[in-house]
Structure 1
Amino acid sequence: MAQYRSAPGIRGNVTLLVLAEIGAMSLWFVSAAILPELTREVSLAPWRAGLLSTAVQIGFVLGALVLAVHGTSDRFDPRRVFAICALIAALSTLVLTVLPVGSLSQIVARAITGFCLAGVYPVGMKIAVGWTLRRRGLIVGILVGALTLGSAAPHGLALMGGTDWRVTVILAAGLSAVGAGLVLFMRLGPHHAIASAGFDASALMLAWRSRPVRLAFAGYLCHMWELYAFWAWIAAALAASFHLSGLADPEHAARLVAFFAIALGGAFCVPAGAMADRIGKARVAGGCMALSGAFAIATALSFGGPAWITAAVAILWGIAVIPDSAQFSALVADSAPSDRAGSLMTFQTALGFLLTAFTIQLSPILAQAFGWPIVLAAFGIGPLIGVEAMRRLAHLRRTSPDR
C-alpha cells in the first residue's frame, strides 16, 4: 500500500469516486429487478422482457465507441463527463415511470441509459488509474467492485420499493443523481493523463496478430459470456427454483439472494486485484473462471431442490463471477504497445458487451423452451473454456515475460 501513502488525498478522492460509481451503476439492472412487477402489470413476452435489459448493453457499446472515437474524456474534464452522463442516465431511467410498460419508448430509454453509462464506468476507470502507477490491479479491482455493488443495488432497492416498481426506479435514479454530484467534489490524481492518442482503428488487427492480446481477448469474451447474463437473470432463475422448492415468497427470497450474490462478488474484487499484482493477472483470472464455471453447473444441478442449497451455491457463484473482470483489461494494457492499448481495450469492451446482448436476450427465451437449469449450466461453458486461454497466457508470460 506504499503507493497509496505516497499520493496525498488518494483515499478520500477514490472513496468519492467509488460512491459515485455505485450510485450511477445502480441504473444498469433496474428493469431486471422490477421484472416481476412489470409482468404482473402487463403481460410481457420473454423476448420483450429481454429487450429491456439488452437495450442497455447495446446502448453501452455504442456509447463506448462514440466517446472513444471522439476522445471525450481526454478533451474535457472527466469528472464533468462522468457527472453529466450520470445525470442524463438518471433522467432517462426516471421517465420509465411515465412510459407504457414494455413499450418501444421504454426500450429506447434503457438504450439511452446504457449509452450514458459508457461515460461513467470507463471514465471512472480513467480517473481512478490517475492516482497510482504500481498498484493499478488493485485500484481497478476497487472500481470493478463499485460497479458490482451498483449492479446489485436494484435488487436491494426493489426490496425497499415493495410491490410498486416505480419506487424502485425513482430510488435508483436518485442514487445516480447523487453520484453525479459526488464526483464533482473529487480531485484528479497526480498521474492523470491529459492527452491521449484516442481510438486507433488500425490497432485492432493486434487483437488477432498478437498472441498475448488474442488470449486476453479470448478470456474476456469467455468471462462476459456469463457475467451480465448472470446479473440480469439470476433473480428470475432463483424465483423459479424457490417456487418449486415450496418457499412462501419465492420472489422476495430470490431478490435477497441475488443482492448478496452480486454484492459479495464486488467485495472480493479488491483482494483479487491485490493478489493479481502479486501472483499474476492471468493466474487470478483463470482461477476465478474455474470456480465460476463450476458453481454455474452446481446451481443448475441444485435447481428446484432445497432452497438453502441453491441459495448458497448461487451466492458462491456470484462471489466468483466478477473478481477476474478487471484483470482482462490490465492484461491487454500489459501486452499491447502503450500507444495502442486504449484502442484495444475499447475494442475488447465493445466485443464483450455485444456478446452480453446476445446472452441476455436469449436467456429468458431458452429458459421458457428448455428450463432454467439448462440455461444456467450453459452459462458455465464460457468460463470453463476461458480457463484454458488463461493457462496458455500465464505460461506465455512466464516463459516470455517481455511479451
Structure 2
Amino acid sequence: MKPRYLLPVVIFAQFAGTSLWFALNAVLKDLQVLYPNTSNFLGNMTSAVQFGFVVGTAIYAIFTLSDKFSPVKVFVISTLIAAGFNLIIVWIKLDFKALLIIRFLVGFFLAGVYPVGMKIMADWYEKGLGRALGYLVGALVLGTSFPHFIAYFSLKIHWQSVIIATSIIASSGALMMLLLIKDGPFRKKAGKFNPNSIVASFKNPSFRTFSFGYFGHMFEVYTFWAYVPLILQQYNQHSNFHFNTSLWSFLIIAAGLLACVLTGEFSAKFGSAKLAFLCLSLSLICCLLSVCFSQANPFVFITIMLIWGMSVAGDSPQFSTLISQNTNPEYRASSITIVNCIGFAITIVSLQILQLASKYISNNYIYLILSFGPVIGLINTFNRTFLVKNNV
C-alpha cells in the first residue's frame, strides 16, 4: 500500500533537485560581469549542464546503477553531490573553463535525479503512471524555474545567495527522500544496457514516431527556457513597459507545471498522442508569433509567453509515456536511455545554433529557429496520432 505522502515527497524532492539545473542562469547577468572577456556565456553555460546530463545518463545506464543499488539511495547521493558542486561556484573563484567543468559535473549528477526519480515513481505506480509522470515532470519544470523566483526576492543581495539557496533546497529534498521513501513494491531488475537495442527499437514504427516527436520537443524546450530572461529583456528595451525579468521568467517557465498536470490528468480520456500533438501545435504558433513581440502591447506579449511556457512543456510527460509504452520490454532500459541521450544532445545543438545565429539575425526573427523542433515533431507524429489506430 502506497503511503499518502509518497507522491508529494517524491515531487518535492524532484523539484528541489532539478532547481540546480538553471541555478546559474537565474544570476547570469551578475555572474557574467566576472567574465567580461567571455563570449557566448549563456549558450556555453547551459550547454555544459546539458552535456553533463547526456554523459551522466549514459554512464548511469551502462553501469545500471539504479538497478544494482537502491534507486532512492542513488537519487539521494546524486542530488547531494550535484548540490555540492553547485556550491563550489560560491566558495572558489573559478576561471571560465573551471566554471564550465563545474556546470558539467552538476549536469552529470542530475542524471541520477530526473531519470531515477521517474524510476522510483514507476516502482510504486503499476497503474496510473501517466498521471504520476505528469506531476513528476511538472516538478522538473517548477524546479527549473525556481532559481528565477529566488533571484526575484534576492534583488538587493548578492548572486551567491541564489546559488546557496538552491543547494540547500536540493539537499533538503534529498534528505526528505532518504527519511520518508523506500524502494517501491514493483521494482524489477531492468535489462542491462544493450547497444543492439537501438536499431531494434527504432524499427518499431510507433517507437520511432514518438521518439522523433520527442526530439522535436527537445530542440525547442530547453533553449526556450534558457532564453526566456533574454526575451523579456529585449522586450523591455523596445517598449515603455518594464517586466521584472526574474519574476516573469519564473512565471513563464513555471506555467509548464500546469500544462504537465493537465495533460497528465486528461491523458486517459483523450490519449497521450493527441495531447502531445496539441502542445506541439500551440508552441509552434507561439514560435511564429515571436516575430511580433517588439510591436505587441504588454498584455498580448506576456499572454503569448505564458501560453508558450505551458505548451513547450506540456507534451514532455506524454512523450515519455508514449515512448515507454511502445518499447520492447526486453530493451526498455536501453531504448529509453538512448532516446533521453539523443534528446538532451539535441538541446546542445539547438542552444549553439541560436547563439551563433543571433550574431547575424535580428531579435525579431531569431526565435523562429525554435519552430524547427515543433514542425519536425508534428510531421512525424501526425499519422500515428490521427490516421493509425493505436491505444495510447
By the TM > 0.5 criterion, same fold? yes
Q: How many residue pairs are counted as aligned between the two chains?
A: 391
How far does the alpha carbon of each residue in 1:174-198 deviate from its partner, in whole angstroms, 9 at most, with x for none?
1111111111123346543241112
Which has the larger displacement, 158-167 or 60-69? Answer: 158-167
Instruction: Give the drift of 1:397.
Output: 4.8
How far does the alpha carbon of each residue in 1:141-198 deviate from its partner, in whole angstroms, 9 at most, with x for none?
1100000000000111111222521111111111111111111123346543241112
Instruction: Give the drift of 1:68.
Output: 0.6
Counterpart of 1:19 in structure 2 is 12
Does structure 1 residue 332 correspond to structure 2 residue 326?
A: no
Cα gap change, 1:188/1:303 in structure 2, threshold over 3 Å: closer, same or farther? farther
Instruction: Give the drift of 1:386.
Output: 1.2
Residue among 200, 212, 219 paired with 1:225? 219
The alignment partner of 1:380 has SS state of: helix
Quick one: which amino acid aligns to residue 31 of structure 1? L
Q: Which runs of structure 2 are paired with 1:91-106 in the superposition (5 Å)?
A: 91-100=84-93, 103-106=96-99
Residue among 150, 164, 170 paired with 1:176? 170
Q: Which runs of structure 2 are paired with 1:361-400 in the superposition (5 Å)?
A: 361-395=352-386, 397-398=388-389
Q: Distance in 1 between matches of 2:229 and 2:95?
A: 19
Counterpart of 2:191 in structure 1 is 197
Does structure 1 residue 286 correspond to structure 2 residue 277?
A: yes
Quick one: which amino acid aligns to residue 246 of structure 1? N
Residue among 142, 147, 155 paired with 2:148? 155
Quick one: which amino acid aligns to residue 137 of structure 2? V
Residue among 58, 79, 82 paired with 2:75? 82
Q: Which runs of structure 2 are paired with 1:4-403 in the superposition (5 Å)?
A: 7-9=1-3, 11-43=4-36, 45-100=38-93, 103-162=96-155, 164-188=158-182, 190-247=184-241, 253-303=244-294, 305-395=296-386, 397-398=388-389
Which has the larger displacement, 58-67 or 324-333? Answer: 324-333
Q: Distance in 2 between matches of 1:102 and 1:364?
A: 21
Q: Distance in 2 between matches of 1:41 and 1:270?
A: 39
Q: Distance in 1 between matches of 2:295 and 2:238?
A: 5
Instruction: Give the drift of 1:287.
Output: 0.6
Cα gap change, 1:308/1:254 in structure 2, threshold over 3 Å: closer, same or farther? farther
Q: TM-score, normalised by structure 2?
A: 0.94
RMSD of aligned Cα (Å):
1.9
Cα gap change, 1:44/1:362 in structure 2, threshold over 3 Å: closer, same or farther? farther
Cα contact 2:212–2:376 (8 A) shared by 1 = no
Cα contact 2:201–2:208 (8 A) shared by 1 = yes
The alignment partner of 1:340 has SS state of: helix
Q: Distance in 1 between matches of 2:371 and 2:160?
A: 34
Cα gap change, 1:39/1:371 in structure 2, threshold over 3 Å: closer, same or farther? farther
Cα gap change, 1:44/1:28 in structure 2, threshold over 3 Å: closer, same or farther? farther
Cα contact 1:42–1:101 (8 A) shared by 2 = no
Quick one: which amino acid aligns to residue 311 of structure 1? I
Q: Distance in 2 between matches of 1:352 and 1:190?
A: 28
Q: Distance in 2 between matches of 1:173 and 1:190?
A: 27
Q: Distance in 2 between matches of 1:203 and 1:95?
A: 39
Give the fraction of aligned pairs with identical amino acids, expressed as a percent. Answer: 28
5+ unaligned residues in a row in structure 1: which ranges?
1-6
Instruction: Give the drift of 1:102.
Output: 6.0
Cα contact 1:287–1:387 (8 A) shared by 2 = no
Quick one: which amino acid aligns to residue 161 of structure 2? V
Which has the larger displacement, 283-292 or 102-111? Answer: 102-111
Q: Distance in 1 between matches of 2:37 and 2:113?
A: 30
Cα contact 2:290–2:365 (8 A) shared by 1 = no
Quick one: which amino acid aligns to residue 156 of structure 1? F
Cα contact 2:120–2:183 (8 A) shared by 1 = yes
Instruction: Give the drift of 1:374.
Output: 2.0
Q: Distance in 2 between matches of 1:277 and 1:205?
A: 30
Cα contact 2:198–2:335 (8 A) shared by 1 = yes
Quick one: which amino acid aligns to residue 28 of structure 1? W
Instruction: Give the drift of 1:333.
Output: 1.7
5+ unaligned residues in a row in structure 2: which ranges?
none
Instruction: Give the drift of 1:309.
Output: 2.3
The alignment partner of 1:339 has SS state of: helix
Q: TM-score, normalised by structure 1?
A: 0.92
The alignment partner of 2:330 has SS state of: coil
Cα contact 1:217–1:348 (8 A) shared by 2 = yes
Q: Distance in 1 between matches of 2:238 and 2:310?
A: 25
How far does the alpha carbon of each residue in 1:211-244 deviate from its partner, in whole angstroms, 9 at most, with x for none?
1111011100100010000111111121111121
Quick one: which amino acid aligns to residue 179 of structure 1? G
Which has the larger displacement, 106-115 or 40-49? Answer: 40-49
Quick one: which amino acid aligns to residue 394 of structure 1? T
How far does the alpha carbon of each residue in 1:15-73 deviate from its partner, in whole angstroms, 9 at most, with x for none?
11111111110010122211111223432544233211110000000110000111101
How far does the alpha carbon of each residue in 1:312-363 deviate from its partner, in whole angstroms, 9 at most, with x for none?
2111100111111012222122112111122111110000000001112332
Q: Distance in 1 between matches of 2:359 and 2:186?
A: 48
Cα contact 1:99–1:106 (8 A) shared by 2 = no
